[in-house]
Structure formats: structure tokens, C-alpha cells
């Protein structure tokens, strides 16, 4: 049997197993048989040929400490040196862990929440149920990790490591009466022979005590606090739009991190305190407590201050506010518009078919910027493309730090304009378009600036950081901007220059419409499947290629490496694994996906939302669909344009994200085979970022 046939056979068996999965997890397929304790079975195989371990496949065995706790072998590694075997550990679900029991404590809270209609209420209740399930699964995974840190010594057990964020993952899954845990265990051998004693040491001395002490015994009060914290963060993020806010930072939050390579809170850090002029108070419905903090209004917000005083630290906390945090993270209740995207310069990235003419025009040799393409982008062109690609996917909040931005993209002072006239400069600085983005399309900007005051006239809010303490200096910044304008107008300039400078420095309060050109959104890019993936078919005799994630930095698509190390809102390795699955879906059956969305052009952020057909006859599965990282009530309120106006490539990205959630984060494809339990839900913006950085990407206009 050649490697191609071997892969197809393995893929077929994994597909059969996945088809038996129900809801967010996997019930044991009917052909799985219980065969008693694992101990005598493994002991009887000691010294046998390693291939004999395959007899354990499709069977269920109990662990000695509790006959109700079982493990199933999904896939056995072919030899001792191959990647580990895939296991599913099944633990009975205690009553206090069930979603219905947990939500029963909040029945009055849910009933009291304002909704526009019964349909919206039902959708909101399902959203709460979904996030409650995510919170429980996250709590169990963290508890198991604590146990493995205590007992795991051999390095032979692999499970997805949780970050400081509470995200939907496939590692732990709840069914109606069972906790399912998916992991890999490397079963050792002696040469090509089975080493039963070593296998049992891993299963009974490392895995079993972690399950016994950290999963079978859970603190119900700590779990309730974990669930309430998550649901309150979901609720708080939903309050932003109705209160005309783009972000909120809780008083007492600890924003600095312990180290550059650590996401843990810094001990002894200065707690955050809101300026009185920006103070907001919210009564959290699920915990019943009130919190006070800084509310940032929609519009243009500048974060200024001296170096090392906390400007970038605040921005970093805000950019990760699209995710929910664990209770002791320090950034709990630091939330932002869920469509917020961090923008930066990204030299040498590839760009294909992006209309950057808003920012870049009149290039040498008359190169077209309405469908700009390059394999080696500069700082300014890459930053322009990053903004347009984010807005194309529906972002209504962008975050920038001047430290990671292209200087010529951000500013251009009057002296430089005298030396290099406008008609010789292809770049329109962001300072000239930032108000137009907000006034015309509601795209807010939060920006760290410390080297130029050109944005003062454009800003709605100016904050100053001083020793990690924030103050509102908007009035002072406007006074300085106005004085600068008066000095320039009174100077020895020509009338034409004075008029131009006056327009440039005019104070831009709320509702001010800048003289920026009309911004037409979105951009009608279409993905060309043949051009994008044809090379993978041409260079391979088989009908699949290898697509896989690698850490937090790269995705490998056959021989091409997609670099995502500068996509700063990726926080877990499992997100890259999930994105790799999405790219594999597009590569393997992208044309079919295109046909499916032709009659359903509007994307959806959640569940059976607009534009996505419900082909699922299993109601319980539909109810347990993985919740998205944006919510139904935000679809209309946050987006900068009507959903039907999305570009073809954006609808494909939304479709991939929906299919990923509908399959409980396990969209296995021939080109991307991953063990069950190693995926984390990404946002549509990060999926789109990976697709847009594919160097073989081909797009067209239709």
C-alpha cells in the first residue's frame, strides 16, 4: 500500500469517527466496545510486535480508579517514534457542571435583560448557553493542566495549552452527561516491541491522577465564578455600541505583563484608574457587582505621553480586549469593539488585488493601486493594505502604534510638503484620511502617538500616560492645535499655503467631516481558485497537499510558508491549526463553497445567522453550535456597511469560520489532518489575514 492509500484509509476511519460526534463533542460511536480495564489488556501485549497495539482501536477501556472513567483509542501511532496516539478520556458529568444547572442560577437575570423581540431573546439565550459551555470546558482544561503539571514527567502526554483568554477549543467537550477530553499520548516501545510497563506508567501514574484529582474533583464555587466572569464580559462588550463606546477599561485592571515572553500579569504594577471625565459604571448582571472604569467614545482617540510610561501597554491590553479573559488575568473587563483589528507596517508581505488608492496613488511607472499587487510590500503599502483588508471584512475599530507604523504613512509636515510637493508624493498620510474613515463609515481609531501633534486637530479624545496613570488632556491638545494654526496663518505664507494649512490643522470635534476623498467600501475582490491553488494540483500527483500550523508564527501550505508572526491578535497555537483547516477547506473544496454562498451572500457572525442555510436536522447539535467571537446583536450595529455588500473573498472567509464552528472546530480535510482536540476558534479577521498573505493568492474584479 503506497503512502497515498495509507493516508486515505486513515482519513476514512477518522471521518467515520467524526461523523459519530454529536454537538460540541463526540459521543462514543455504536461500534465502540467496552473491554474492561486497560491494565490486563496492555500487560498481555508486553513484548509483542508494536503493530499489535492497533487492536486497541475502536475499543473503550476503563481506568482502575473508577470504572465509569474510560479511555478510547481513536488512532494508534504506527511505531514508537511516530507522533503520539490519539485518546479520548470520558468522565461522567456531575450535575453541577451541566449548562442547564449553571444557567438556572441566572434564570431571573436572563429574563430581565432587555431584548427587542422574542426571536432576539431566544437567540440571546442560545448565545448565553454557548458561552456558558465554553466557560465550563475552559475551566476543566485549566484544571487538567494543573494536574498534568503535578504528575506529568515523561513528556509523552500532549494537550492544547490554554492561554490567559477564555476561547472555544476542541480539547474538552461537554455532552448531556459526559466530559470528553481529547489528547495525544506517546506510547513507548523497546525497539519495535511494545513496552507495556512504560505505557502503563504514563497512563496510570501521570494521566490517571491528573484526571482523578483535577477533573473528577472540581470546585463548584470557583466554577460558578469562572462562568459568571465570562458571561459578564460578553454582556459588557455588547453594551459598548448602545452607549456609543468603542472600548472600556476597568478601574483596578493590571495591564502590564510579567515579561516580554509572558502573558501573566506583572506583580506590583500600578492599577489602572480612569480619568473622572471618562468614568463609566456598569452593573454586571451575572455576578451582581458594579464596576467603574474608563469608557472610550467612538471616534479618534490618541494615547500620548513620554517613552516608557505605558502607552503601548494600554494599547496592547485594548487590542486583546476582543477576547474574554480568565478572572485573575488583570485584564478582565478590558473590552473593545469585537471587530477591532491591530494594524501595523509589515515589510515584505505579499499583497494581491487590494485597492489602496485611498492612501497610495501616482506610483512611478503608473502602477495601478486600485488592484495593487506585490510580493515585497514596503512599510507604507503593507500598512495601507492591512487597513483596507480589515475594513473589507467589517472592522469598525482599528488600533495603531507609531512605533510599529511606517512614518511616511502616518505623517507629513508642512516643511516636507514644500520640498516634495503633493503631486510628487504618492502617499496620502493617514492623518488626512482618519476622520473620513470615521465620518463616512464609522471606523474608529485608537492610536499611540508620541512624536507629532498633527493628529491633535483630528482627535475626539487625547489621553496622556504618565507613570502608568492616564489623564484626559483633550482640551489642552485642542488649545495647542488652535494656537499652532493661528501662528501658521499669521506667518509669512502665501494665501494658498495658509488656506491649505488651515484646512489641515482645523480642529476636528465630533461630527466633523474632513476633506478626505470619498471612501468606497467594500472592495469587490473575488478569489480565483484555479490561479490560487493550481500550483498545488500541478505539483502533486495526489489530490491533497499538506497544510499545517506551526506554533504562533507560520502556516505551511505544501512548500509555501505563510508568515503570521506580525498578526498580533493571534494568541494560541490552536488558532493557527484552525486557520490551516480553513485554508485546506478552500483548497480541497473551495469551488463547492463558492457555489454554496452564491445564493446566500450575507455572512453571519453567529450560529444560523443571516445568509447561512441551516442544513442541520439535529436540533440538539444546532443548539450546541460553537458561539462566534462576535454576537448576533452586533451584526447590524457594528458593521461599516450592509452585509450584502461584502466582497466575494470576505464571504468565503465568513463561510469558512461558520463551517468551523458548525463542525465543533473540527473541519478535517484531506489536506489538513489534525488530531482531535488541538484547535482554537480564530476570528474572521485572522482567517482573512492568513488568506491575504498567501503568496499564490489570485484575485480579480467582477
Question: What is d(CA 230, CA 224) in angstroms, rounded to the nearest whole number?
Answer: 10
Q: What does the pLDDT read at residue 12?
A: 38
Q: What does the pLDDT read at residue 28?
A: 47
CB 533 within 8 A of CB 670: no
User: Grid coordinates standing for 133?
Assistant: 459551555
Q: What does the pLDDT read at residue 457?
A: 93
Q: Per-residue pLDDT for 377 more than 70?
A: yes
Q: What does the pLDDT read at residue 110?
A: 75
Question: What is d(CA 466, CA 337) in angstroms, rounded to the nearest whole number?
Answer: 26
CB 585 within 8 A of CB 593: yes
Which residue do the cell numbers 463533542 mark?
Answer: 25
Which residue do the cell numbers 499669521 mark?
Answer: 490
Q: What is the CATH number of domain 340-505?
A: 3.40.50
| Beta-carbon count within 10 A of 308 CB | 11
Write down the pTM of the prediction: 0.88
Q: What order do you get walking across the sheet with 290-297 strand by strand?
A: 279-283, 290-297, 245-250, 334-336
Query: What is the pLDDT confidence band of residue 509, given thresholds at 50, 70 and 90?
Result: very low
CB 588 within 8 A of CB 691: no
Query: What is the pLDDT confidence band of residue 617, given thresholds at 50, 70 and 90?
Result: very low
pLDDT digits (tens, 9 = 90+) for 168-221: 999 999 988 999 999 999 999 999 999 999 999 999 999 999 999 999 999 999
Q: What does the pLDDT read at residue 477?
A: 95
CB 247 within 8 A of CB 337: yes
Mean pLDDT (whole number) for 277-291 = 96
Query: What is the pLDDT confidence band of residue 9, given thresholds at 50, 70 and 90?
Result: very low
Residue 443, SS3?
Answer: coil
Mean pLDDT (whole number) for 361-367 = 85
Mean pLDDT (whole number) for 652-668 = 88
Mean pLDDT (whole number) for 641-653 = 72
Q: Per-residue pLDDT for 385 more than 80?
A: yes
Q: What does the pLDDT read at residue 611?
A: 30
pLDDT digits (tens, 9 = 90+) for 586-612: 888 766 666 665 555 444 444 333 233
Question: What is d(CA 382, CA 349) in angstroms, rounded to the nearest whole number?
Answer: 7
More confident residue, 530 or 412: 412
Mean pLDDT (whole number) for 283-310 = 96
Q: What does the pLDDT read at residue 95?
A: 83
Q: Which residues of 332-344 are buried (b: 16+ CB within 10 A; e: fewer)?
A: bbbbbbbbbbbbb
Residue 14, SS3?
Answer: helix
More confident residue, 515 or 55: 55
Q: Per-residue pLDDT for 117 more than 70?
A: no
Mean pLDDT (whole number) for 231-260 = 96
Instruction: Say what percent of the chain tops pLDDT 70.
Output: 80
Which residue do the cell numbers 515584505 mark?
Answer: 348
pLDDT digits (tens, 9 = 90+) for 53-100: 999 988 899 999 988 999 999 999 999 999 999 999 999 998 888 888
Residue 576, SS3?
Answer: helix
Average pLDDT taken over every residue of the chain: 83
Q: Per-residue pLDDT for 280 more than 60?
A: yes
Q: What does the pLDDT read at residue 172?
A: 97
Q: Which residues of 226-240 are buried (b: 16+ CB within 10 A; e: fewer)?
A: bbbbbbbbbbbbbeb
Q: What does the pLDDT read at residue 120?
A: 66
Sign of CA dihedral 228, 231, 232, 233: positive
Q: What does the pLDDT read at residue 322?
A: 97
Q: Per-residue pLDDT for 13 more than 50?
A: no
Query: What is the pLDDT confidence band of residue 421, given thresholds at 50, 70 and 90?
Result: confident
Range list for CATH 3.40.50 in the chain? 340-505
Q: What does the pLDDT read at residue 685?
A: 96
Q: What does the pLDDT read at residue 114?
A: 65
Q: What does the pLDDT read at residue 29?
A: 44
pLDDT digits (tens, 9 = 90+) for 433-458: 999 999 988 999 999 999 889 999 99
Instruction: Say what percent of the chain tops pLDDT 90.
Output: 58
Query: What is the pLDDT confidence band of residue 229, given thresholds at 50, 70 and 90?
Result: very high
Q: What does the pLDDT read at residue 488?
A: 75
Query: What is the pLDDT confidence band of residue 372, given thresholds at 50, 70 and 90?
Result: very high
The DSSP code sequence of 211-270 is HHHHTSS--HHHHHHHHHHHHHHHHHHHHHHHTTEEEEEETT---SEEETTEEEEPTTPP
Question: What is d(CA 631, CA 231) in angstroms, rounded to the nearest whole number?
Answer: 13
Question: What is d(CA 518, CA 528) in angstroms, rounded to the nearest whole number?
Answer: 28
Q: What does the pLDDT read at residue 443?
A: 95
Query: What is the pLDDT confidence band of residue 405, given thresholds at 50, 70 and 90?
Result: very high
Among 13-22, 109-118, 565-574, 657-666, the range of highest mean pLDDT: 565-574
Query: What is the pLDDT confidence band of residue 156, given thresholds at 50, 70 and 90?
Result: very high
H or E segment and range at residue 475: helix 474-490
More confident residue, 94 or 701: 94
Amino acid at each position: 500500500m503506497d503512502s497515498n492509500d495509507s493516508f486515505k484509509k486513515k482519513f476514512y476511519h477518522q471521518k467515520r469517527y467524526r461523523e459519530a460526534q454529536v454537538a460540541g463533542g463526540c459521543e462514543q460511536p455504536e461500534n465502540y466496545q467496552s473491554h474492561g480495564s486497560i491494565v490486563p489488556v496492555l500487560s498481555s501485549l508486553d513484548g509483542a510486535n508494536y503493530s499489535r497495539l492497533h487492536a486497541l482501536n475502536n475499543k473503550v477501556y476503563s481506568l482502575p480508579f473508577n470504572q465509569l472513567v474510560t479511555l478510547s483509542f481513536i488512532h494508534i501511532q504506527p511505531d514508537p517514534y511516530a507522533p503520539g496516539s490519539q485518546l479520548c478520556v470520558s468522565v461522567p458529568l456531575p450535575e453541577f457542571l451541566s449548562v442547564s444547572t449553571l444557567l438556572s442560577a441566572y434564570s431571573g437575570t436572563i429574563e430581565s435583560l432587555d431584548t427587542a423581540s422574542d426571536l432576539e431573546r431566544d437567540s440571546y439565550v442560545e448565545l448565553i448557553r454557548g458561552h456558558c459551555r465554553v466557560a465550563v470546558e475552559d475551566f476543566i482544561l485549566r484544571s487538567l493542566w494543573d494536574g498534568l503539571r503535578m504528575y506529568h514527567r515523561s513528556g509523552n502526554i500532549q494537550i492544547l495549552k490554554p492561554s490567559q483568554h477564555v476561547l472555544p477549543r476542541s480539547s474538552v467537550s461537554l455532552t448531556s452527561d459526559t466530559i470528553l477530553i481529547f489528547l495525544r499520548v506517546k506510547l513507548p516501545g523497546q525497539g519495535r516491541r511494545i513496552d507495556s510497563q512504560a505505557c502503563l506508567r504514563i497512563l496510570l501514574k501521570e494521566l490517571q491522577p491528573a484526571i482523578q484529582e483535577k477533573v473528577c474533583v472540581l470546585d463548584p464555587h470557583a466554577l460558578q465564578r469562572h462562568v459568571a466572569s465570562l458571561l459578564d464580559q460578553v454582556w459588557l462588550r455588547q453594551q459598548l455600541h448602545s452607549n456609543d463606546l468603542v472600548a472600556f477599561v476597568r478601574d483596578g485592571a493590571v495591564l502590564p505583563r510579567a515579561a516580554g515572553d509572558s502573558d501573566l500579569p506583572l506583580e506590583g504594577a500600578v492599577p489602572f484608574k480612569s480619568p473622572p471625565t471618562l468614568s463609566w459604571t456598569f452593573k454586571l448582571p451575572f455576578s451582581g457587582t458594579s464596576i467603574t472604569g474608563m469608557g472610550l467614545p467612538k471616534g479618534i482617540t490618541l494615547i500620548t505621553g513620554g517613552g516608557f510610561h505605558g502607552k503601548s501597554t494600554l494599547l496592547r491590553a485594548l487590542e486583546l480586549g476582543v477576547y474574554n479573559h480568565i478572572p485573575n488575568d488583570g485584564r478582565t473587563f478590558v473590552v473593545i469593539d469585537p471587530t477591532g483589528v491591530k494594524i501595523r507596517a509589515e515589510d515584505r508581505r505579499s499583497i494581491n488585488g487590494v485597492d489602496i488608492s485611498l492612501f497610495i496613488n501616482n506610483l512611478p511607472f503608473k502602477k495601478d493601486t486600485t488592484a495593487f499587487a506585490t510580493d515585497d510590500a514596503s512599510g507604507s503599502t503593507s500598512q495601507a493594505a492591512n487597513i483596507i483588508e480589515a475594513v473589507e471584512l467589517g472592522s469598525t475599530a482599528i488600533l495603531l502604534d507609531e512605533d510599529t507604523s511606517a512614518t511616511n504613512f502616518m505623517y507629513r509636515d508642512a516643511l516636507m510638503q514644500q520640498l516634495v510637493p503633493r503631486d510628487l508624493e504618492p502617499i496620502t498620510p493617514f492623518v488626512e484620511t482618519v476622520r473620513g474613515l470615521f465620518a463616512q463609515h464609522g471606523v474608529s481609531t485608537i492610536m499611540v502617538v508620541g512624536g507629532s501633534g498633527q493628529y491633535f486637530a483630528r482627535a475626539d479624545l487625547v489621553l496622556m500616560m504618565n507613570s502608568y496613570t492616564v489623564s484626559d488632556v483633550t482640551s489642552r491638545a485642542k488649545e495647542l492645535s488652535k494656537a499652532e494654526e493661528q501662528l501658521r496663518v499669521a506667518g509669512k505664507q502665501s494665501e494658498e499655503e495658509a488656506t491649505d494649512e488651515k484646512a489641515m490643522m482645523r480642529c476636528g470635534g465630533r461630527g466633523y467631516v474632513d476633506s478626505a476623498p470619498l471612501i468606497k467600501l467594500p472592495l469587490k475582490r473575488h478569489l480565483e481558485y484555479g490561479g490560487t491553488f493550481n500550483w498545488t494540483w500541478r505539483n502533486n500527483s495526489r489530490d491533497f497537499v499538506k497544510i499545517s500550523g506551526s506554533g504562533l508564527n507560520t502556516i505551511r501550505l505544501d512548500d509555501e510558508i505563510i508568515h503570521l508572526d506580525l498578526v498580533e491578535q493571534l494568541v494560541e497555537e490552536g488558532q493557527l491549526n484552525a486557520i490551516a483547516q480553513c485554508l485546506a477547506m478552500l483548497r480541497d473544496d473551495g469551488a463547492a463553497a463558492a457555489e454554496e454562498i452564491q445564493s446566500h451572500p450575507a455572512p453571519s457572525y453567529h450560529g444560523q445567522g443571516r445568509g447561512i442555510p441551516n442544513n442541520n436536522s439535529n436540533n440538539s447539535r444546532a443548539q450546541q453550535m460553537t458561539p462566534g467571537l462576535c454576537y448576533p446583536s452586533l451584526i447590524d450595529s457594528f458593521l461599516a456597511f450592509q452585509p450584502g455588500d461584502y466582497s466575494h473573498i470576505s464571504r468565503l472567509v465568513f463561510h469558512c469560520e461558520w463551517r468551523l464552528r458548525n463542525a465543533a472546530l473540527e473541519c478535517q480535510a484531506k489536506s489538513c489532518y489534525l488530531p482531535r482536540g488541538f484547535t482554537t476558534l480564530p476570528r474572521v479577521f485572522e482567517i482573512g489575514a492568513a488568506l491575504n498573505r498567501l503568496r499564490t493568492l489570485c484575485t480579480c474584479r467582477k
